[in-house]
Amino acid sequence: MKYQNFLFVSGLSFILSSLQILPVLSLTSSSNISGASPARQWNWVSSFPNQLSSRLQAELADAKKLGVKPLNVQTQIKTAAFDSVISAGTIKWAIDEAGNLLIIPKNVKGSEIYHSVLTNGAPVAAAGEAEMAGDKTNGYFLLMISNYSGHYKPTGDTIDLGITAFKKAGVKTDSAKKVVQDPKKYS
Amino acid sequence: MTLSESKELENHLLSLGKEELAVWINQCSQGEVILPSGCDINWWTGLAYALASRSRSIEPWDLDWAKIAVAFYEHLNNPTLIESSMALRLNLLQKFGVQEQEDLLNPQIIVQWFERSVQLLPEDALQISQQWRADLAAGDPYAHISNDSLLEIRTIKNKLNIVKELLSIPTFQPTANLLHWIEIQQQLV
């Protein structure tokens, strides 16, 4: 029965992925009353492809040359590498198709690092820029979050996915300033 | 599937040559172009980046394409786009060196971008940063310093990430004030 469910979900994911609609693991899933393992919930969200893919290989090579590797916030928070990236300045963030929240520094040695580096150019469920302060001893605070990304052009409503993901990883988001880019505002 | 009007415009603009694009962005700056819906900051960022990529696609880099890319980055006067423009200007300076008669290769443009926007003294920025860290350690990070103040400090720090790289360019002469900012950058929040 479990195998049948797996086939159903996998098949559905494939069909919806081809339509650029992705199921991502709910970022707000909560434990059930008995305290057993959290129930998986699926949120249905849009997928945003890299719209500037022609220079992808050069972007990846430049990032590699500068020693930039994406950090997975859920698993690498409270590490020295994480503290170093968030304290250096603006970060770029994205949620990949598997629901991972990834970050990179926006600038290294004066060179801009692009969102495509976060997922090797793969589509994202959400992306933008953010400012974060704090450290592993005293906690982390999201100061600002936006959906700025010329590569993926995510819609404004995806910012909430980012906020939820940072919060779930342990970042305090209550005071964060939301900067929303919405094409509808420029009509 | 039909393309959105903004995507159609993007494709059209990317099919134009340098001279035609320079005329278009100039007309845009004069308010003579009516843009379709969808031309938001992400649209401008993508377009400017595509044009900047052209300038760097072959050796030696093409300064004419870079000029057009800078014009696109700076058209909206949006802080995020301007920062990308300054990063491009820095990369060009690192590549070609200083030529002060050439706007694109004049480091003072980057210095002025930093100095014009900074309303705080270095000592004040340091004090705010130290206060926030003390409050953070005491468990109440917003006791004295607001989120907006932290973002003001962070904006300075971000700009310094670009400005400090000017020091690697031969012939660049920083002022004492600029050097002081660069020295304290790592202590800012």
Structural domain containing residue A63: 50-186
Longest dimension (CA), chain A: 54
Query: Smallest Cα–Cα separation from B48: which of B9, B78, B81, B20?
Result: B81
How far is it, in rounded angstroms, from Cα A159 to Cα A175?
A: 15
Closest CB to A110 among B39, B42, B90: B90
Query: Smallest Cα–Cα separation from A19: which of A56, A45, A1, A50?
Result: A45
CB atoms A110 and B40 under 8 Å: no
Residue A1 lies in a domain: no
Q: State whether residue A116 is helix, strand or coil.
A: helix
**CB-CB contact of A151 with A119 (8 Å):** no
Q: Which helix (H) or strand (E) holds A62?
A: helix A56-65
User: What confidence score (pLDDT) does residue B111 get?
Assistant: 97
CB atoms A148 and B80 under 8 Å: yes
- Which residues on chain A are in Cβ contact (under 8 Å) with B157? 89
Residue A11 lies in a domain: no
CB atoms B53 and A183 under 8 Å: no
Residue A29: exposed, middle, or buried by beta-carbon count in 10 A (0-12, 13-18, 19+)? middle
Q: What are the Cα distances from residue A44, in Å, to A12, A27, A93, A146, B111?
A: 12, 11, 20, 21, 46
Q: How many domains does chain A have?
A: 1
Average pLDDT, chain B: 95
Best A86, A112, A113, A136 residue to mutate vs chain B (most B CBs within 10 Å): A112
Residues B169-183 have pLDDT tens digits of 999 999 999 999 999
Q: What is the value of ipTM here, to two decimals? A: 0.92
Count of beta carbons in the 10 Å neighbourhood of residue A56: 16
Closest CB to B157 among A89, A177, A182: A89
Average pLDDT over residues B50-72: 93
User: What confidence score (pLDDT) does residue A20 get?
Assistant: 56
Query: Smallest Cα–Cα separation from A63: which of A19, A93, A108, A21?
Result: A108
Residue A79 lies in a domain: yes
Residues B34-48 have pLDDT tens digits of 999 889 999 999 999
DSSP annotation string for B97-158: ---TTSGGG-HHHHHHHHHHH--S-HHHHHHHHHHHHHHHHTT-TTSS--HHHHHHHHHHHH
Q: What are the Cα distances from residue A50, in Å, to A54, A68, A94?
A: 10, 19, 12
How do the residues of chain A divide into helix, strand and coil, expressed in percent and rounded to 5? 35, 30, 35
Q: State whether residue A21 is helix, strand or coil.
A: strand
User: What confidence score (pLDDT) does residue A46 get?
Assistant: 83
Residues B69-103 have pLDDT tens digits of 999 999 999 999 999 999 999 999 999 999 978 99
pLDDT (tens place) for every residue of chain A, 187 residues total: 444 454 444 444 444 444 455 545 444 433 333 333 333 444 556 899 999 998 899 999 999 999 999 999 999 999 999 999 999 999 999 999 999 999 999 999 999 999 999 999 999 999 999 999 999 999 999 999 999 999 999 999 999 999 999 999 999 999 999 999 875 554 3
Q: How far is CA B152 from the centre of its chain?
A: 16
Amino acid at B127: Q
